[in-house]
Amino acid sequence: MRTIVVQRLGGPDVLAVEDRPTPEPGEGQLLVDVAAAGVNFMDIYQREGKGYALDPPFPLGQEGAGTVTAVGPGVTTVAVGDRVAWASAQGSYAEQALVPADRAIAVPAGVDLQVAAAALLQGMTAHYLAASTYPVGAGDVAVVHAAAGGVGLLLTQLVKSRGGVVVATTSDAEKGELARQAGADRVIRYDDLAATVADITARIGAAVVYDGVGQATFDAGLAALRPRGMMVIYGAASGAVPPFDVQRLNAGGSLYLTRPALKDYVADLAELQWRAAEVLGWIDDGSLQVRIGATYPLADAARAHADLAGRRTTGKLLLLP
């Protein structure tokens, strides 16, 4: 089978297609024919060696969807022929992947496998951000940075479904229109944040800022919060936020700052199944829309990484083996 391997840490050019033997599923594992693999910033961080201790060479990719072709010993809840999706199986940029059975989520019959692959990781991220990290309530003003991205479009929809008011930031008019279609109440450029939030909240400030951009947007986001508002840094597309004086939280009005990660919000099997089932169920009934921004052949993984890192994309990027 073909798989994408990180030969050494570095830029997109370190990605290579290798032919490897088809693996056998071990205890508690599934072998899945991959229909689509999701491309995420986490994959870029692993490739670059930023925050993830993986020694090259290693297979890349965490997220995908496909059809089970074999099950390992001890697997009783999944059968050959089942359609499943997952968000945490290393080596998902491949024609076939080994997936832990207890991390595999059944895909409803009405949901296409490509859509499932596009939705699970970023959908559950949007779910925990809006429902758990800062549970949005009716009337809460929420800033969603990079609102035309994979998480941003889903998060905008979930904040609106909970009765929140979305101030969406995007980098151009085309992305702004996508954010509007997702339900954003105000769509602005990044440098208009302070004035817009002041206007929409009568100078009180936003209840929460959801920031997957990081370094470039952190200061303005922190300044846009109301007293006791929450800054949620869930990604670092522009680079990591540098160390800062925590007295800024005091000066801003007893602010909260958190840096959550999906793994801690799906560590418990019941929580994983709850979040995944709600996300896929909303897609199945049409109440949550998933935008697939681009698809690439497996061999073009380097181009997908370059496009994502260059912020030239909207929605979700997929590799198709």
Mean residue pLDDT across the chain: 96
Mean pLDDT computed over 304-309: 96
pLDDT in tens, 192-248: 999 999 999 999 999 999 999 999 999 999 999 999 999 999 998 898 999 999 999
- 29, 101 Cβ separation under 8 angstroms: yes
- 170, 146 Cβ separation under 8 angstroms: yes
312: number of Cβ within 10 Å: 11
pLDDT in tens, 121-148: 999 999 999 999 999 999 999 999 999 9
Looking at residue 311, its pLDDT comes to 83
19: number of Cβ within 10 Å: 8
> Mapping DSSP to helix (H, G, I), strand (E, B) and coil, where does residue 77 land?
coil
> Mapping DSSP to helix (H, G, I), strand (E, B) and coil, where does residue 161 land?
helix
DSSP 249-313: HHHTTS-EEE---HHHHS-SHHHHHHHHHHHHHHHHHTSS---EEEEEEGGGHHHHHHHHHTT--
Looking at residue 268, its pLDDT comes to 93
Checking if the pLDDT of 298 tops 80, the result is: yes
| Residues 229, 174: Cα–Cα separation, whole Å | 30
Looking at residue 50, its pLDDT comes to 85
User: Which of 321, 269, 267 has the alpha carbon at shortest distance from 296?
Assistant: 321
Mean pLDDT computed over 253-270: 96
Secondary structure (H, E, C), 225-247: EEEEEEEEECCCCCCCCCCCCCH
What element of type H or E holds 43?
Answer: helix 41-48
Looking at residue 52, its pLDDT comes to 74
Looking at residue 237, its pLDDT comes to 86
Looking at residue 53, its pLDDT comes to 73
Alpha carbon 256 to its chain centroid, in Å, reads 22
* Token pair for 239: 């680079």
Looking at residue 147, its pLDDT comes to 97
139: number of Cβ within 10 Å: 9
Residue ranges and CATH numbers for the domains of the chain are: 2-120+264-320 (3.90.180.10), 137-259 (3.40.50.720)
pLDDT in tens, 9-67: 999 999 999 999 999 999 999 999 999 999 999 999 999 998 777 899 999 999 999 99
> Mapping DSSP to helix (H, G, I), strand (E, B) and coil, where does residue 84 land?
strand
Looking at residue 105, its pLDDT comes to 98
289: number of Cβ within 10 Å: 16
Q: Could you tell me the CA-to-CA distances from 81 to 54, 67, 69, 71, 284 in Å, in that order?
A: 32, 6, 6, 10, 20
Q: Enumerate the β-bridge partners of residue 37.
A: 64, 319
pTM: 0.94
Looking at residue 169, its pLDDT comes to 97
171: number of Cβ within 10 Å: 14
Looking at residue 210, its pLDDT comes to 98
User: Which of 57, 77, 22, 87 has the alpha carbon at shortest distance from 280?
Assistant: 87
> Mapping DSSP to helix (H, G, I), strand (E, B) and coil, where does residue 92 land?
coil
Burial class of 216 by CB neighbour count within 10 A (0 to 12, 13 to 18, 19+): middle
